[in-house]
Amino acid sequence: MMLAPKILAIGATAASAANLFVSDYGGAVTSFALTASNGTYALNDTFSTDECAPSPSWLTIDANRGLLFCLNEGLSTPNGSLSSFTINGDGSLTHVMNETTISGPVSGVIYGAAAGQRALALAHYSGSSVTSYLLNGGGKFALNQELTYTLDEPGAVPDRQDAPHEHEAITDPTGKYIVVPDLGADLVRIFCWDDETLKLRELDPLETAPGTGPRHAVFWNPYGVACEECTTYFYLVGELDSTITAFSVEYLPNGGGLNFTQVFNSTTYGLLSLPEGNAPAEIQVTPDNRFIVISNRNNTSFDLPQPDGSILESDSLTTFKLQDDGSLVWHQLWPSGGSFPRQFSIDKTGSLVAVANQNSQNVAILQRDTATGLIGEPVARVTVGGNTTCVVWDE
């Protein structure tokens, strides 16, 4: 039996506070204050806005500049939108802009020179596209580029692989490439960009096994240093076949792209038997660089008794321990605190995991033991006004 740690790294005696931003399909972006006093936590909403309505799906925070970008997936409208906010000292948000986009934006990443011209790349699920918006300071932005993809014939899972479905945009550890898992096309698309215009150019993609359904991914440098010659691994979550696949990454000469060699694969349940229908979603490397956490959805693995006697159905988070050769050792399966953990964010201390449980319409803050890497009991949980899509720490 795994024991949940009772002592937390923060907030043991003095009051402390952290802010979080949460998006939900009810149309809201909400700010929450997590306060800890004498070992007891409270999670209170402090601000809410509908200026990313109707279908907020993803939040990209630019903490250094005090900006929050929110994507509206536009589930019941022909188009999506991109909204920007400035983050105020009290955790409230001031709206800057809202622009109509190609339909279905679900993830975004900032790229470009840290102190120079930067842009935001968006992955569009229903719109089969990658788009780029130039960031012009203070939350202002302007359309830079739209790249839309098609599929010649449906993939191995016709209802989800009817068309390309760009599901996430991340940068590689050197900040030279953008990587976009495409769930519909069984590809991981790789892009470089022009330093002046920040226009993207597609390079040779990583082709996955048919029916994988690439959704989200992370890079990992085992020794914590990022460079083209450094040891680099890439971990890809296949939503449709419920797999985690590890690749070693070779940087091709002269900015020519990335070459991937598979080094390990497993179901996202690791050593445990995979339940039917499981659909993993999010993946993160823990801040200590020692573990990978993946969320599992769509086949409740835990029934959690509640104080009022009711039962809360919960999906799960899997933790794997990272090995120097890129392989993974299964470490833990633990309740996510609700149904359909679409996304989660680990705080920078590694001691708290905030989970967006989409179908339970909640956010659960789980404690995590940074010494053992084991996730533990929730310290706080709140219900939001719609299906939860994303939660980010303001830090």
Ligand X SMILES: *[C@@H]1O[C@H](CO)[C@@H](O)[C@H](O)[C@H]1NC(C)=O
Binding of ligand X by 156 (CB under 6 A): no
Binding of ligand X by 265 (CB under 6 A): yes
Cα-based distances in Å from 109 to 5, 6, 240, 288: 34, 36, 24, 22
Binding of ligand X by 279 (CB under 6 A): yes
Q: Which residue is nearest to ligand X (CB)?
A: 277
Helix (H, G, I), strand (E, B) or coil at 253: helix
Q: Which of 372, 344, 348 is nearest to 357 (CA)?
A: 344
Binding of ligand X by 174 (CB under 6 A): no
Degrees to nearest 5, angle at CA 323 with 320 and 328: 35
Per the CB < 8 A criterion, the answer to whether 198 and 130 are in contact is no
Cβ neighbour number for residue 167 with a 10 Å cutoff = 24
**Among 161, 232, 295, 358, interactor with ligand X by CB under 6 A:** 358
d(CA 23, CA 365): 15
Binding of ligand X by 127 (CB under 6 A): yes
What is the x/- site pattern for ligand X, positions 280-309, by CB under 6 A? ------------------xx----------
**Among 2, 6, 44, 201, interactor with ligand X by CB under 6 A:** 44
Per the CB < 8 A criterion, the answer to whether 123 and 133 are in contact is no
What is the x/- site pattern for ligand X, positions 186-225, by CB under 6 A? ----------------------------------------
Minimum distance, C-beta of residue 383 to ligand X, in the bound complex (Å): 11
Window 90-109: residues binding ligand X (CB under 6 A):
98, 100-103
d(CA 218, CA 246): 10
Number of residues binding to ligand X, judged by CB under 6 A:
35
Minimum distance, C-beta of residue 212 to ligand X, in the bound complex (Å): 9
Which strands sit side by side in the sheet containing 141-148, from one edge to the other?
105-112, 118-124, 129-135, 141-148
Residues near ligand X (CB under 6 A) are 25, 38-39, 42, 44, 51, 53, 72, 77-79, 81, 98, 100-103, 127, 243, 252, 259, 261-262, 265-267, 275-277, 279, 298-299, 358-359, 387
